[in-house]
Amino acid sequence: MLEFIDVSVCFHSGTADEKMALDHVSLRIEDGDFICVLGTNGAGKSTLLNVISGAIPVTSGKILLDGEDITHLPEHKRARAIGRLFQDPLKGTAPNMTIEENLGLAYSRGKRAGFHRAIKKKDRRFFIEKLSALHLGLEERLKTKVGLLSGGQRQALTLLMATIVTPKLLLLDEHTAALDPKTAASIMEISEEIIKQHQITTLMITHNISQALLYGNKTIILNEGKIVKVLEKEERKQTSVEDLLAMYDFV
Ligand SMILES: Nc1ncnc2c1ncn2[C@@H]1O[C@H](COP(=O)(O)OP(=O)(O)OP(=O)(O)O)[C@@H](O)[C@H]1O
Ligand SMILES: [Mg+2]
């Protein structure tokens, strides 16, 4: 469904700072895939997600979504199909708006009436049902400004917003890295639940090697802009955390 054909991203081309952040990457992501992306700092992981969302243009190569060439489609036109979460819980929500206003915005993204549609009773019931599933008590705080929430609560809300209209693709860039261990575990659990329930095709960047083997159905390792390993099926099952660590040493 999402296909990378020989995609390269070169920053500061032709200067002393030239950097091949992605180096001729070809990759096929099937519907329902949940791919964990590993790699050392600067390997090109965020760049990979950035070219999918359209935040960064490719230097060469092609990206196809469901067979359609989206290589040059602007970011805002991809936003309806792609949900995204960052490491920073402050990104992705509007702090001066309430929980229900934030959810209303995310919800109207998929609707024709668009941006200024008023929140109806039915919507509110739907939001309460969705928020209850997070088990954070946010369903009782619909009128609370999002800026007053903790990082974990905010990240959970961002996750809900990114998936309230089921996206074709969900991009998670170390989305639990800034949270305390207990909150991180709970956000990861909620993420997996939502992804499984709606069978959302997902790419998740993590530095947690055991997580990269535990979640999803594929693990890829990036190094210096190249995919150096794809683990799936039996090979993935047979791979231990120690094996993966050794691959890290190797790259
Ligand atoms: N907008 C940019 N302009 C210039 N160079 C960039 C830009 N974005 C990324 N780079 C460079 O491209 C390379 C890959 O960066 P990227 O952010 O994709 O790494 P990463 O794998 O996500 O690393 P980390 O684990 O630290 O988040 C790095 O050398 C980085 O400095
Ligand atoms: Mg990154």
- Residue pair 85/158 in contact (Cβ under 8 Å)? The answer is yes
Q: What is the pLDDT of residues 180-210, one digit of tens each?
A: 999 999 999 999 999 999 999 999 999 999 9
Collapse the DSSP code of 68 into the 3-class scheme (helix H, G, I; strand E, B; otherwise coil) and give the result.
strand
Query: The CATH number of the domain where 242 resides is what?
Result: 3.40.50.300
Beta strand residue intervals within the chain, DSSP E: 2-11, 19-29, 34-38, 60-65, 68-69, 82-85, 169-173, 201-205, 218-223, 226-232
Residue 130 Cβ contacting ligand 1 at under 6 Å: no
Residue 21 Cβ contacting ligand 1 at under 6 Å: yes
Residue 42 Cβ contacting ligand 1 at under 6 Å: yes
Q: Which residue, judged by its Cα, is nearest atom 1 of ligand 1?
A: 11
Sheet containing 218-223, strands listed edge to edge, beginning at the edge strand earlier in sequence: 82-85, 169-173, 201-205, 34-38, 218-223, 226-232
Q: What is the pLDDT of residues 34-89, one digit of tens each?
A: 999 999 999 999 999 999 999 999 999 999 999 999 999 999 999 889 999 999 99
Q: How far apart are CA 192 and CA 30, in angstroms?
A: 18
Q: Which residue, judged by its Cα, is nearest atom 12 of ligand 1?
A: 21
**Total domains present in the chain:** 1
Amino acid at position 157, single letter: L
133, with CB counted inside 10 A (0-12, 13-18, 19+), is middle
Domain limits at 34? 2-250
Task: With CA atoms as reference, report the closest residue to 3 among 37, 22, 31.
Answer: 31
Residue 46 Cβ contacting ligand 1 at under 6 Å: yes
Ligand 1 atom closest to 87 (CA): 27
Query: Which pLDDT score is estimated for 224?
Result: 96
Q: What is the pLDDT of residues 105-151, one digit of tens each?
A: 999 876 655 555 678 889 999 999 999 999 899 999 999 999 999 99
